[in-house]
Amino acid sequence: SQQGEEDPQALSIQEGENATMNCSYKTSINNLQWYRQNSGRGLVHLILIRSNEREKHSGRLRVTLDTSKKSSSLLITASRAADTASYFCATDGGSSNTGKLIFGQGTTLQVKP
Amino acid sequence: DAGVIQSPRHEVTEMGQEVTLRCKPISGHDYLFWYRQTMMRGLELLIYFNNNVPIDDSGMPEDRFSAKMPNASFSTLKIQPSEPRDSAVYFCASSLGPSGTYNEQFFGPGTRLTVL
């Protein structure tokens, strides 16, 4: 079963607007990660947030984590056409020695120029 | 570093044929993952290795799929015999350490497999 579930499944905005994507998960976690996938390419890591962190920033990206609600959000500010991609959250399932990540189904973001 | 390298990038084969996908992880990475991505099922973890040893193969669909990692710089995913429902993009990824201790995964460009 999917650990991470993204919402919405698809999002279309104008360039310059902010984009917010949400992720819910089911089990405890040590960390939650966000990845981007451009069409026809592999996934690229964007940002990692640890379970004891509530917010993290990286450039135009802002990630929040609410472990009590088992949810996270990714905010992309001042979006650009180049941000058009699919975005995935992934969690480790809560075991510190687990190698694997469990990915959600992703949010497809379209930024119109 | 060249990143994770996968070959071939595209593979078209006929049902019943054997298919072998190849992956070279980033040097020094102890973990290697094989994923399959389809529109219907999303991104699925098939198997992962730690220090060349398979740790979790619970995602391998059936006995037609097998994966090996003979050394730290090479892994294969084999499908024999292939079926049309195996058509997907297969990704290889590697990481320095376990995801549970804050390690990100680095993905290859993927192999697009089409089974006719």
Inspect the interface and report whether the beta carbons of A100 and B106 lie closer than 8 Å: no
- pLDDT of amino acid A2: 44
Q: Which residues contact B78 (CB under 8 A, 6 or more apart)?
A: B18, B19, B20, B21, B65, B66, B67, B68
Of B99, B107, B108, the CB nearest to A100: B99
pLDDT at site B32: 97
Tens-digit pLDDT profile for residues B72-102: 999 999 999 999 999 999 999 999 988 878 8
B35 forms beta bridges with: B45, B91
The answer to whether the Cβ–Cβ distance between A99 and B4 falls below 8 Å is: no
Which chain B residues have any C-beta within 8 angstroms of a chain A C-beta? 4, 31, 33, 42-43, 45, 48, 50, 55-56, 91, 93, 95, 98-102, 104-110
pLDDT of residue A1: 39
Q: Under an 8 A CB cutoff, do A88 and B43 touch? A: yes
> What is the per-residue pLDDT for B24?
98
pLDDT tens sequence for chain A (113 residues): 345 678 899 999 999 999 999 999 988 899 999 999 999 999 999 999 999 999 999 999 999 999 999 999 999 999 999 999 999 999 987 776 678 888 999 999 999 99
pLDDT for position A3 = 56
Write down the pLDDT at residue A96. 62
